[in-house]
Structure 1
Amino acid sequence: MASYRELEPAKNGKPRIKITVELGYDEETGKRIRKYKTVTLNSLSDRAIKKAITEYEIEVSKLDVIQITESITFMEFRNRWLDNYVRLDLSPATKSHYVRILNTGTFDMFDSMKMKKIKKFHIVEYFSEEKKEGRKNLSNKFSILKSIFAKAIEWEIINENPMNGIKAPHVEPRQRELEFYDSEHLSQMLEAINSLNLKYRVIYKLACLVGLRESEIAALRLEKINFVNNTILIDQALKYDTEEKSELILGPTKNKKSRIVNVPQKFMDEIKEQVNDQKKLKIRSGNAWKPMKDDDGKDIDFLVTSQRFLGYPIVPSAISNTWRRHSKKLELPKINFHALRHSCASYLLSNDANFKIIQEQLGHSDVGLTMNTYSHLTKEDKKTAIDLFNKIL
Structure 2
Amino acid sequence: MKGYFRKRGKVWSYTVDIGKDPLTGKRRQKTKGGFRTKKDAERDCADFISSFNKGSAIIQKDITIKEFMKFFIARSELKLKPSTFYKQMNVFNKHIVPRIGHIKLQEFTKHHAQEFINQLLEKELSPTYIAHICRLARIFFEFALKDDRIVRNPFSDVITPRTKKRSYNVWSVEQLQTFLATAKEWNQHYYTLYILAAHTGMRIGEVLGLRWRDVDFENKRISVNQSVYYKEREFVFSDLKTSNSFRMIAVDDVLVKQLKRHKSRQIEGRLAEPFETDYDLVFCRKNGRPLHPEAVRGSFNRMIVRANVPKIRLHDLRHTHATILLKMRENPKIVSERLGHSTVVRTLDTYSHVLPDMQEEAVSKFSDLMNRKFSS
Verify the 8 A CA contact 1:219 1:238 in the aligned structure 2. Answer: yes
Measured in 2, the distance between the counterparts of 1:107 and 1:305 equals 37
Measured in 1, the distance between the counterparts of 2:249 and 2:158 equals 36
Verify the 8 A CA contact 1:278 1:304 in the aligned structure 2. Answer: no
**1:220 Cα deviation (Å)?**
0.6
Which residue of structure 2 aligns with residue 252 of structure 1? 239
The amino acid of 1:280's aligned partner reads E
Unaligned runs of 5+ in 1: 1-57, 292-298
Measured in 1, the distance between the counterparts of 2:340 and 2:218 equals 22
**1:149 Cα deviation (Å)?**
2.7
CA distance 1:112–1:347, shift in 2 (3 Å): closer
**1:269 Cα deviation (Å)?**
1.9
The amino acid of 1:148's aligned partner reads F
Superposition CA RMSD, Å: 3.2
Pick from 73, 84, 92 the counterpart of residue 94 of structure 1.
84
Measured in 1, the distance between the counterparts of 2:312 and 2:112 equals 44
Measured in 2, the distance between the counterparts of 1:326 and 1:253 equals 29
**1:356 Cα deviation (Å)?**
1.1
Unaligned runs of 5+ in 2: 1-17, 30-58
Q: Does 1:143 align with 2:135?
A: yes
Measured in 1, the distance between the counterparts of 2:280 and 2:192 equals 16
Verify the 8 A CA contact 2:113 2:158 in the aligned structure 1. Answer: no
CA distance 1:335–1:121, shift in 2 (3 Å): closer
CA distance 1:104–1:357, shift in 2 (3 Å): same
Cα offsets for 1:203-247 (capped at 9, x unmatched) = 111111111121111111111111222111112111111xxx241
Pick from 343, 356, 365 the counterpart of residue 342 of structure 2.
365
Q: Does 1:116 align with 2:106?
A: yes
Verify the 8 A CA contact 1:120 1:163 in the aligned structure 2. Answer: yes
The amino acid of 1:310's aligned partner reads N
**1:335 Cα deviation (Å)?**
2.7
Q: TM-score, normalised by structure 1?
A: 0.70
What is the SS of the residue equivalent to 1:233? strand
Cα offsets for 1:28-86 (capped at 9, x unmatched) = xxxxxxxxxxxxxxxxxxxxxxxxxxxxxx9778883526972111121113433x234
Cα offsets for 1:354-390 (capped at 9, x unmatched) = 1111111012232222111212224333223323426
Measured in 1, the distance between the counterparts of 2:241 and 2:80 equals 12
The amino acid of 1:265's aligned partner reads D
Q: Does 1:213 align with 2:203?
A: yes
Q: Does 1:300 align with 2:279?
A: yes
Verify the 8 A CA contact 1:261 1:361 in the aligned structure 2. Answer: yes
Which residue of structure 2 aligns with residue 337 of structure 1? 314
The amino acid of 1:160's aligned partner reads V
Measured in 2, the distance between the counterparts of 1:169 and 1:210 equals 40
**1:319 Cα deviation (Å)?**
1.5
Q: TM-score, normalised by structure 2?
A: 0.73
Which residue of structure 2 aligns with residue 313 of structure 1? 290
**1:314 Cα deviation (Å)?**
0.5
Verify the 8 A CA contact 1:214 1:319 in the aligned structure 2. Answer: no
Which residue of structure 2 aligns with residue 22 of structure 1? none
Verify the 8 A CA contact 1:142 1:169 in the aligned structure 2. Answer: no
Measured in 2, the distance between the counterparts of 1:95 and 1:61 equals 26
Which residue of structure 2 aligns with residue 64 of structure 1? 26
Rg comparison, structure with higher value: 1
The amino acid of 2:241's aligned partner reads K
Q: Does 1:78 align with 2:69?
A: yes
What is the SS of the residue equivalent to 1:232? strand
CA distance 1:175–1:158, shift in 2 (3 Å): closer
Which residue of structure 2 aligns with residue 382 of structure 1? 359
Measured in 1, the distance between the counterparts of 2:121 and 2:183 equals 46
CA distance 1:61–1:333, shift in 2 (3 Å): closer
The amino acid of 1:152's aligned partner reads A
Measured in 1, the distance between the counterparts of 2:228 and 2:153 equals 37
Which residue of structure 1 aligns with residue 223 of structure 2? 233
Verify the 8 A CA contact 1:92 1:240 in the aligned structure 2. Answer: no
CA distance 1:140–1:375, shift in 2 (3 Å): closer
Cα offsets for 1:307-327 (capped at 9, x unmatched) = xx5211101222221111122
Which residue of structure 2 aligns with residue 351 of structure 1? 328
Which residue of structure 2 aligns with residue 222 of structure 1? 212
What is the SS of the residue equivalent to 1:71? coil
Q: Percent identity?
A: 24
What is the SS of the residue equivalent to 2:61? helix
CA distance 1:108–1:204, shift in 2 (3 Å): closer
**1:118 Cα deviation (Å)?**
3.2
Pick from 183, 205, 215 the counterpart of residue 173 of structure 2.
183
The amino acid of 1:252's aligned partner reads D
CA distance 1:354–1:231, shift in 2 (3 Å): same
